Structure 1
Amino acid sequence: MPVSASPVPVSPLSEAVFLSAEAAEGVAPRFTATVPLTALRDDVVTATLWATARGVYEAEVDGVPVTDSVLNPGWTSYEWRLTYQQFDVTDTVRGGHDDVRLTLILGNGWWRGHLGFGDADADYGDEIAVAATLEVVYRDGSVQRVSTSDAWGAAASDVTRNSLYRGQSVDARLREGGAPLAVRTSEIDHGVLAPQTSPPVRRHEAVPAQRVWRSPSGRTLVDFGQNLVGWLRFTVQGSRGDLIRIRHAEVLEDGELGVRPLRSADATDEFVLSGGVDAFEPTFTFHGFRYAEVEGWPGELRAADLEAVVVHSEMARTGRFSCSDPLVTRLVDNSVWSQRGNFLSVPTDCPQRDERLGWTGDIAAFAASASFSFDTADFLDSWLQDLRLETEHAPDGAVPFVVPAVLKYANFPAGHLSEWAGPTAIWGDAAVWVPQALWQAYGDADRLAAHYPAMAMHLSSIEPLISERGLWERGNQFGDWLDPDAPPEDPAAAKADAAVVATACLYRSASFAAEAAAVLGNDAEAHRWRGLAARTRDAFVRHYVDDDGIVRSDCATVYALAITFGVLEGDLRSRAAARLAEIVRESGFRVTTGFAGTPYVTWALSETGHVDEAYRLLLEKECPSWLYPITMGATTVWERWDSMLPDGSINPGEMTSFNHYALGAVVDWIHQVVGGLRPAAPGYARVRVEPRPGPGIEWAETSLRTRQGEVSVAWRVASGELTVEVALPDDVPAEVVLPDGRTVEVRGGGHVFTSTL
């Protein structure tokens, strides 16, 4: 083992090499080294382990796991940013006996995960590898470092198959010792190594099984009562060599496990028993599921035998909401569960099928909602670092529609994704809208500066596509994706004109880029983007809006965007708002918007004097609506308004998920308008309290732990009078806007107001 007493190197892994093993793809190799210490254990002052992997790894010192985090090092744009982790193992090293034993177990993870959908089968490389360095500092000031090298040994672990999509197999018989494996080494490109800044992925809670029963075909099914992301954990004893097989799914169909939406993701774990008491927990995979099908369990399976472990990136819960309508409260809870399941290393579209990609459009729509419910500052900052890197290296200079952009390695036929090439509205606008949400939530100017270059790259990539008329009507667009009137097989066939959507989005992005540049003191850039925004607005109004405020394609989405993004002003805005309200009434208050319009339609209504229509749209229960899935038992937000049809069958479309947060972006409006808690300055340095009661909700309570401290708003309507209770952190100013026209300035502490409605 390399041992030295030199000063700490610039890179903690500078002496390490990557270790890989000659093993079948599904096998997780176990690398080991036994290290004699150069001084007594009692003389150890500190001991630190640094590690990373092309794949995912688990590390132990003297048989003790070094961390309770899982799926390290997570998923980043590996080509330019492979993160390493640092663990304090002082107590373990100091408290042991004899030589120190180091163990690294290596799984496929995202590096060799056959990622994507259809035939994508995208991998970063053919071989997985792990690297680590243990540094021990002694009382006399000497330093001992031990790094991965060709002196390490390797053997097969008890993990015989591991895949994020397909599941994991564990053979407890191999815990007695697996077959030795030949070790290969390769050099680390230290230029791509970076310390981890994103929060680690952890187990957060265990959900007990609620019910065990037999399906119509005689299969054993288990319901955990909540659609979640993670895996099952259990202890069992049976005959040596017996196999337990567990399949996972989000829903049931015809009384059986509904696996069709998973497409090629098998989501199946297998466990081979040793004959003794075996504990199983498949930590090299994860599943999106509420239900499990269990085969081969020794004896009768009881609900108490299994628990579901909830896994996601660590984020502090910051925002909460409840109200008099339990379905609306459940809608907000569902958005929280969908965020938890899809904030696993990167913000994904869905956590269960053969996709699980960092789609930019989803988080562009949901970032504001996400940053209220949880502290997302570090999580989304890390992802935005990758977005910038991917954009800098993109051959067309455009923001990729998934980040990390793993689909560049897909095995699709040439040109298969050509219709999605180039800058796209909403998806590409994540480069602007996600930083905008973070700026409003946290007010961090340093991070705004770090995110600004990607904003500029995105807008620069659009400029060549702006037509002579000043409109973004060239290039390819997703448009109002998943418009509820689009056929299941063509989710892009929306009512909203794609160029109208794109041009409105361009105006919003240019406007915020100008604001960001001004905040950062870049007057030239601010002037550039203000000019682009002004030209875009003029062109939009000239070519897309008539004198009566009718916007081209005359559907809810185009009005929602034009109003909420501030494209329309004055009488045109009022007329457009009246038309939007008319469309909403004509639809019977059912949702008619897709990804583009859904986050903004209630905003456009309530901010233009149509609060009642906004509430009725929110509270509608017939499909399509936000509450329809809840009446069907949903515990997360669905990808489609009708992912499950009223008869209990699954939507026939190939693309059907029951855990997608994008359409849950309405909760941003719920927090700010129904709840009444808004930022009046970035980072809630100043607060605006403006609850807007409407028909169907009699009270609401909202709280948010801001960078300044806890803010809460509670209101109740009784006998035509509104009572509002506000609690503010010390010295934080707030403007309280009441329905009777008063605006009251307060600072810190608790306050109570009453107002006529």
Structure 2
Amino acid sequence: MPRLLFNFGLFVFILGCVAHAQLPSPFDVRIDHYKTGSIHDLVINTPRPRFSWKISNNNEPSQRNIEQIAYQIQLESIKVSAKDNLFQWDSGRIVSTQSIHVPYASRYDLSAGARYRFRLRIWTSIPNESSEWTEWIYFRTAIFNLNEYLTDNANLLWIGSTKINMNELRKEFLVPNTSPVRSAIVYISGIGYYQFYINGYNVDPSRKLDPGWTTFEIRTLVATFDVTSNISAGMNAVGVKLGNGWYSGEQLGIPTYGPPRLLFTLNITFQNGEQMQVLSDQTWSGRQGSILRDSVYNGESYDARNERVDWARPGFNDSLSAWIMADSLPSPVSEARNGQLVLQDMPPIRAGFDALHIETDMSNHERDYLKSMNLKYIQGASFRDGRGSVLKPISVSQPTVGIHTFDLGQNMVGWCRVRLRGLRGVGVYFRHAEILAQPLHSTGQSTGGIYTENLRGATQFDTYILRGDPNGEIYEPTFTVHGFRYFQVSGAPNPLTVDDVECPVVHSETVLKGNFISSSPIINQIQHNIQWGQLSNIMSVPTDCPQRDERRGWMGDAALSVNEALYNFDLIKFYVNFLNLICDVQQSNGAIPDVVPNGGGYPADPNWGTALPTITWQLYRHYNDSQILSTYYDHVRAYVENIRGGYNNTGLVNLAYQFGDWVPPPPQPMTNEHLIASFAFLHDVSILINMSQVLGKTADSQAYSAFYQQLAEEFHRVFFNTAANYYADGMQSAQVLALALPNVVPENARVTVFNHLLSDISAKNNHVSTGIVSTAQLYPLLSDNGHHDLAVELISSTTYPSYGYMFTNPYENATTIWELWDAPSEGPGMNSRNHIMYGSVGAWFYSHLAGIDLSSTGITIRPRMVSETKKHLLSKINCQLSTLYGLVQVSYTRDERDTVANSILMSVIIPPNTQAKVVFEPLFPGSRCITLLEDNQTIWSLASAEFTHVRNFAVERDTRTDFMTVHIGSGRYEFQVVWQ
């Protein structure tokens, strides 16, 4: 009997453990917006961080209505030395549904330069029990007053040389053996770029082109590294390589910039509490190393004969080089401009597999989907399966003797590693290009060479001189970066194959959080091109292009692409940094420039300056973080008031501009530039109203609402052509922008203006004549106003001008987005094949084709539907979006079941701790929903009810529009909606 009781008790215990293990639990924890699971050395730059987490459903999306009812966070300090005090904070059980941006609520700020760990657990409604604690998550805090800390140390110098190209610096130092090393923290800034070595090892090998680009005299970024595991008792050595980067006058022509320079401090704390420092000072020595020349635009020259393998190791002795004492150089920051040394509080630029983390992945599904739909595979490289982080050539040709031309199959940004074998002193030359040489007009055939004229002043040219290693040697550049698809090698001493070349993709570290695929091969290719184009243009700042002598932070490109970028990638830290750079160069009157950093051209064109309010607002939309609005509200308001000052002198009719609706498709002219500028002004006033309402600034909200109404009436009055019943000159852009602004076009004119727009598009055989500003507004405008069919027709076009033409024309097949609609027909002057400004349409894929809208009140799923007669254009979509709450997925199929015509099958996944409404539009004009099923069970029917609660579903029918809305909690849902 006792044995039976024991077994039964054990069985109950095991069941209890299994049940407890299956409880919804927190995962993917963030602190201060950083994903804790993907960062080895997590550094927080605030004394009062906030926490976010997702709630697991144990891979059972069918488990529904999971809601958090409480959480508990425990945080404690980690003692570094015997003198440290232990700090602990326990939130206790906090009854709250909040799982994002949860504040650290202790009475005491976290200490600067300290180590901590935290963990959390939650209680959910299913069941009402606590989850297991997460594993302890470790982080450290930065020195919060970093500028004061670094500038107050009189022994700490910026070092380098004005005498030689001193791009390798080193110092040896003795660590006493009196007490174990418990902590060794480095703060470093090497500008333009640096690479950092301790005892011969690159401390962070995938980290490249550091620090991030800034207006250096106002803000110079400093990185921090935990090198505790690299330091040992006895002699140690530190080595730093320096590159010119954006601090070079060659790049920007800024005469006050000069040679590279280094600021370095190593703080070692021992177990007994004693400390020691290693600082950049004139005890360091330096030389010109193997890099003879480096330039962002013009590439690198590298002489491998100058390599010194052990140069960053202790005991190194070099009898072949002249190492001289480093000079003290001026700080790059300007006291006159209140310059600051600031922690680089964003992910760094990385190369290869560490650059892109995958949070959503449909790679297997994508292949099956394309195969089942009999669709061709997408041109270019896929980063979803991991191979896209380091590309291998898909072919190699030899157009002339001694030249190898490699095709990567994908327009990319980075460089190539090349395996070479040859005699000492042999020079090998590398060139990079986006396309092959233009076809000969007589034959229509390419010569096989590469086309570099569109690079303008940027040569993208690297040189390598072999050291003569009989085992072979591998070269890859250090302080330059290239935009290219074709990689040409000249003078290689040995025949090269595709196996001798691999090319790491380089960009600011980020997470792929969005995936979109459909039954349309055209849309799939556009999505591919947008994602690759966006990755190509996040290089510590959002750039316009990655290949020619530009690559700058053009604000118009950043504003147009930010919504798309935030659907596809996790970039909140990246864009917050950019907002700070904009504010750095904002003038006292509120004006900002067209380009940031190193802004020029004050005041900005309104459609370029809109980057400040637009990025701020889009970050709030995607991350539901009102703190961002609070931080930048005054800057946005000052900017709007600056535009208002100009408006007071000119009115809208002559509002100042520089660029208008940039690069419409030739031969179309540009529409009225003052109307284009006025659109941006009204757009930004509207954003300011929204910001003020969220922040509860009632007076501002009322004042700017009244001002907006004044502007709206003036816009119509001065730009509307009463004789012709359209805006300005009647071009598409003018109608699109007027219609996109709220309350501008009077109701009695709206139908007429819309019909004129539609007629113009029809007269151009369903093609656009829009530039970058109006193209961004066109597709949502059509979809939201009953013309979704037309929007899908336009995006599906492959004839000029269209997105599809970029990869179906007879000249070249794009794998990123072109700068110009007619790139092959244009000259080299301004003709990038990797520009992101027209990538704005990518946001529409998520917001309208998949219909995902995120707001502070919940998730709305409302895919716009093409009509029955046009469903061949888009009969299926599948979209994943990883949000701060978890995965949102929308998948629909039209008329999959032969027995049921005029139906939609839709699968939806809603993450735990959220609510959603799913909206179904009529499939054709005049149709009504007759049956709505979920999991093959009727939850609403026209015959039985207008509004019903069945199986906890709330279903509503809008009798005016015949839209059907279902209110749901978290989980997986399988809907079928039948229309007649």
What letter corresponds to residue 510 of structure 1 in structure 2?
V
What SS does the aligned partner of 1:114 have?
Answer: helix
Counting only pairs closer than 5 Å after superposition, residues 251-262 of structure 1 correspond to structure 2 as 251-253=435-437, 254=446, 255-262=448-455
Cα distance, 1:113–1:660 mapped onto 2, change above 3 Å: farther
1:622 aligns with 2:799: yes
What letter corresponds to residue 295 of structure 2 in structure 1?
S
Q: Is the 8 A contact 1:439 1:445 kept in 2?
A: yes
Q: Distance in 2 between matches of 1:179 and 1:617?
A: 64
1:154 aligns with 2:286: yes
Q: Distance in 2 between matches of 1:519 and 1:50?
A: 38
**Deviations 1:265-323 (CA, angstroms, capped at 9, x unpaired):** 01001111001132222120000000011011122111100111100001111111001
Q: What's 2:239 paired with?
A: 103
Q: Distance in 1 between matches of 2:222 and 2:606?
A: 34
**Deviations 1:405-456 (CA, angstroms, capped at 9, x unpaired):** 25x5xxxxxxxxxxx5424121011111111211111111111122222211
475, 479, 483: which is aligned to 2:656?
475
Q: Is the 8 A contact 2:430 2:461 kept in 1?
A: yes
What SS does the aligned partner of 1:316 have?
Answer: strand
Q: What's 1:743 paired with?
A: 965
**Deviations 1:648-684 (CA, angstroms, capped at 9, x unpaired):** xxx21511100001111111112211122122x14x8
| Pairwise CA distance, 1:583 | 1.5
Q: Distance in 1 between matches of 2:430 and 2:876?
A: 44
Counting only pairs closer than 5 Å after superposition, residues 192-591 of structure 1 correspond to structure 2 as 192-204=340-352, 205-215=389-399, 219-253=403-437, 254=446, 255-276=448-469, 277-392=472-587, 397-406=590-599, 408=600, 421-466=602-647, 470-471=651-652, 473-485=654-666, 494-546=669-721, 549-566=725-742, 567-591=744-768
Q: Distance in 2 between matches of 1:553 and 1:449?
A: 40
What letter corresponds to residue 196 of structure 1 in structure 2?
Q
Larger Rg: 2
1:58 aligns with 2:195: yes
| Pairwise CA distance, 1:641 | 0.7
Q: Is the 8 A contact 1:735 1:743 kept in 2?
A: yes
**Deviations 1:79-134 (CA, angstroms, capped at 9, x unpaired):** 2111100111111114xx63110111111011115235xxxx34650232111111
Q: Distance in 1 between matches of 2:657 and 2:210?
A: 36
Q: Is the 8 A contact 1:483 1:594 kept in 2?
A: yes
Q: What's 1:708 paired with?
A: 885
1:633 aligns with 2:813: yes
Unpaired runs of 5+ residues, structure 1, are 409-419, 488-493, 646-650
Q: Is the 8 A contact 2:848 2:864 kept in 1?
A: yes
What letter corresponds to residue 687 of structure 2 in structure 1?
F
Cα distance, 1:549–1:430 mapped onto 2, change above 3 Å: farther
Q: Is the 8 A contact 1:585 1:613 kept in 2?
A: no
TM superposition score normalised by structure 1: 0.91
Q: Is the 8 A contact 2:281 2:326 kept in 1?
A: no
112, 116, 120: which is aligned to 2:248?
112
Cα distance, 1:463–1:301 mapped onto 2, change above 3 Å: same
What SS does the aligned partner of 1:165 have?
Answer: coil
**Deviations 1:37-86 (CA, angstroms, capped at 9, x unpaired):** 1335x711111111012311111110111213111111012121111001
| Pairwise CA distance, 1:397 | 4.2
Unpaired runs of 5+ residues, structure 2, are 1-82, 85-111, 114-142, 309-317, 353-388, 438-445, 896-900, 923-962
| Pairwise CA distance, 1:709 | 1.2
Counting only pairs closer than 5 Å after superposition, residues 167-206 of structure 1 correspond to structure 2 as 167-176=299-308, 178-186=321-329, 188=331, 191-204=339-352, 205-206=389-390
Worse-superposed segment, 584-593 or 313-322: 584-593
Q: Distance in 1 between matches of 2:653 and 2:861?
A: 35
Q: Distance in 2 between matches of 1:43 and 1:193?
A: 31
Cα distance, 1:584–1:218 mapped onto 2, change above 3 Å: farther
Q: Is the 8 A contact 1:737 1:744 kept in 2?
A: yes
Q: Distance in 2 between matches of 1:704 and 1:158?
A: 46
Q: Distance in 2 between matches of 1:686 and 1:644?
A: 42
Q: What's 1:71 paired with?
A: 209
Cα distance, 1:614–1:206 mapped onto 2, change above 3 Å: same
Cα distance, 1:218–1:431 mapped onto 2, change above 3 Å: same
Q: Is the 8 A contact 1:198 1:379 kept in 2?
A: yes
| Pairwise CA distance, 1:562 | 1.7
Q: Is the 8 A contact 1:674 1:693 kept in 2?
A: no
What SS does the aligned partner of 1:686 have?
Answer: strand
Q: Distance in 2 between matches of 1:328 and 1:227?
A: 18
Q: Distance in 2 between matches of 1:678 and 1:666?
A: 15
What SS does the aligned partner of 2:758 have?
Answer: helix
What letter corresponds to residue 244 of structure 2 in structure 1?
N
Q: What's 1:600 paired with?
A: 777
Percent identity at matched positions? 28
What letter corresponds to residue 225 of structure 1 in structure 2?
G
What letter corresponds to residue 678 of structure 1 in structure 2?
D
Give the aligned length: 717
What SS does the aligned partner of 2:527 have?
Answer: helix
| Pairwise CA distance, 1:217 | 7.8
TM superposition score normalised by structure 2: 0.71
What SS does the aligned partner of 2:701 have?
Answer: helix
Q: Distance in 2 between matches of 1:219 and 1:654?
A: 27
| Pairwise CA distance, 1:23 | 4.8
Worse-superposed segment, 463-472 or 309-318: 463-472
Cα distance, 1:153–1:375 mapped onto 2, change above 3 Å: same
**Deviations 1:666-715 (CA, angstroms, capped at 9, x unpaired):** 11112211122122x14x84333334335311101111111121101001
What letter corresponds to residue 522 of structure 2 in structure 1?
L
Q: Distance in 1 between matches of 2:629 and 2:163?
A: 45
| Pairwise CA distance, 1:602 | 1.2
What SS does the aligned partner of 1:622 have?
Answer: coil
Q: Distance in 1 between matches of 2:554 and 2:862?
A: 33
What SS does the aligned partner of 1:115 have?
Answer: helix
Q: Is the 8 A contact 2:166 2:286 kept in 1?
A: no
| Pairwise CA distance, 1:147 | 0.7
Cα distance, 1:397–1:60 mapped onto 2, change above 3 Å: same
Q: Distance in 1 between matches of 2:661 and 2:574?
A: 27
1:165 aligns with 2:297: yes
What letter corresponds to residue 398 of structure 2 in structure 1?
R
**Deviations 1:484-518 (CA, angstroms, capped at 9, x unpaired):** 1358xxxxxx4311111111221111011011022
Q: Distance in 1 between matches of 2:247 and 2:649?
A: 44
What SS does the aligned partner of 1:485 have?
Answer: coil
Cα distance, 1:569–1:144 mapped onto 2, change above 3 Å: farther
